[in-house]
Structure 1
Amino acid sequence: MKNATRSLNSKVHSLGDILEASMKFEARAKRLNEREAEKMERIQRSIVRNQRVSDNLRSRVMARTEASLKNISGFQKVLSKDYTVKKFKTMEKGFNQRYRLRPVSPRTARQLKLETRAYYSGLDRRWFQPEIERKMRQQDPTKVQKILQKVLKEDCEGRNQLLDRYLSEDAFQQEVYNRLNNKADIKIARFHYTSNNKN
Structure 2
Amino acid sequence: MSPRFPLIALMLIAGCAPAADPAGNATAENATPDNATPDNAAATPAAQAAADAGDAEPAQPGIRDAWIRLPAIAGRPAAAYFTIVGGAADDAVVAVTSPAFARAELHETVEENGVTRMQMGARVPFTAGARLDLAPGGRHVMLFDPTGALKPGGTAELTVAFANSPNVTVKAELRAPSGQATDHGSAHGGSH
In the superposition, the TM-score normalised over structure 1's length comes to 0.32
The structure with the greater share of residues assigned to helix is 1
Comparing both structures, which one devotes a greater share of its residues to strand? 2
Which structure has the greater CA radius of gyration?
1
